[in-house]
Copies of this chain bind each other. A is one copy, B any other.
Amino acid sequence: MEDGDSGEDRFIARFLRPLAAHPAALGLRDDAALIAPPAGTDLVVTKDALVAGVHFFADDPPGAIAQKALRVNLSDLAAKGAVPFGAFLALALPREADEAWLEAFFDGLGADVAAYGCPILGGDTVRTPGPLTLSVTALGTVPRGEFVPRTGARPGQAIIVSGTIGDAALGLKLRQEPGRFGFLSLIETQRGHLSDRYLHPQPRLALAPLLRSYAAAAMDVSDGLVGDVAKLLVASGCGGWITSSDVPLSAAAAAAVAAEPDLLRTALTGGDDYEIAAVLPVAALPAFAEEALALGIPVCVIGETCVGRGLDVLDAAGDPLQFGVGSYSHF
């Protein structure tokens, strides 16, 4: 028996080894990866699973599926102030995943491995009679003691969010209900913007050092802004409020919401944003915003923490909005 004899060996040699140049991967030729943690750092580890038909569409471009699986994990690292170290990929492939599909999948993954400096360090590829199922375990590093937790928010601090919120959730809705009233007035570039935000999450890794310097608490917005901020407040043991009109919307999302105000609920609770929600001391805001802007990342103050429990979402007049479900649960 020689290396490359079995189907799995050939698969690894062709598709995975080119993404596994890091010495910790041991060329994907051993039972495990061997990681010498960089001195003075803590490791941050996150693991997300994605299932075709649940977390993405089976007919999404294969490269986009691969990138989403990696990026949703990198988004978790970013929120914790971490720099990517490497990732492990478990891939359960249905029979439909033919050579062309695999090539496109690993092309997409390879582009991200290079772009984010996140080599593949190991994993497992198996066949499944069911839908394509992926799990990525991403490892990152933070300088020792600088992990940004969910638990550090204190009353009287500012709640901020990066980028714009709701685009991905509206992009999903647009795909499901393209003829829906709220979308009719959108021009082609606006539709494209929403669709692209759903298909291609953009983890905010550039914000990681700023979060380490300034944030009391942070998380990424993956299950919906309202529910995710509520979770952060619970973890921190304080209450808070956000004003819906202060939540940053893209031009496309704003146009959809203007046409059909109910879509604001989708934007605020739909998830898949992969933006950063963070809580900062008010005094840190100017420096944080300036440095973020210098990186080309807009950040907006959307509310404040307070003594108490729970999150209130207020409209522009200061009246509370009700959300039956604050975040989307895939479970």
Give residues in A with beta carbon < 8 Å to B.
1-3, 6-8, 11, 26, 29-37, 42-51, 53-55, 76-77, 79-80, 82, 88-92, 121-131, 133, 135, 137, 139-140, 144, 147, 149-151, 219-220, 226-227, 230-231, 234-235, 309-311, 326-327, 329-331
Alpha-carbon distance A310/B5, docked complex (angstroms): 12
B91 touches A49 (CB 8 A): yes
Q: How far is B31's CA from A80's CA once the two chains are assembled, in angstroms?
A: 8
Whether A327 and B45, one on each chain, are in contact in the complex, defined by CB atoms closer than 8 angstroms, is no
Is the Cβ of A92 less than 8 Å from the Cβ of B310?
no
In the complex, which of the residues A32, A36, A129 has the most CB atoms of chain B within 10 Å of its own CB atom? A32
Q: Which residue of B lies closest to A32 (CB)?
A: B46
Check A47 against B128 for contact (C-beta < 8 Å).
Answer: no
Contact (Cβ within 8 A) A129 B131? yes
Cα distance, A44 to B88, chains bound together (Å): 12
21 contacts between A and B (CB under 8 A): A1-B234, A1-B311, A2-B310, A6-B331, A29-B151, A31-B76, A31-B150, A31-B219, A32-B45, A33-B44, A34-B43, A34-B149, A36-B43, A45-B88, A47-B122, A47-B137, A48-B124, A49-B125, A54-B127, A54-B129, A128-B130
Nearest B residue to A80 via CB reads B32
Main secondary structure of the interface of A (DSSP, over half): mixed
A277 to chain B, nearest CB (A): 11
- With contacts A49-B90, A220-B31 taken as known, whether A6 is within 8 angstroms of B329 at the C-beta atoms is yes
Q: Which of A46, A47, A79: most chain B CB closer than 10 A?
A: A47
A190 to B144, alpha carbons, bound, how many Å? 53
Q: In the complex, what residues of B have CB within 8 A of residue A329's CB? A: 6-8
Please give the distance in Å from A140's CB to the nearest CB on chain B: 8
Provide the residues of chain B in CB contact with A149, threshold 8 Å: 26, 30, 34
Whether the Cβ atoms of B8 and A331 lie closer than 8 Å is yes
A21 to B280, CA, bound (A): 29
**Chain B residues with CB below 8 A from A80, complex form:** 30-32, 34
Least distance between A242 CB and chain B CB atoms (Å): 13
How far in angstroms is the closest Cβ of chain B from A260? Answer: 25
| Inter-subunit contact B125/A331 (CB<8 Å) | yes
**A150 neighbours in B (Cβ, 8 Å):** 29-31
State in angstroms the CA–CA spacing of A1 and B325 once bound together. Answer: 9
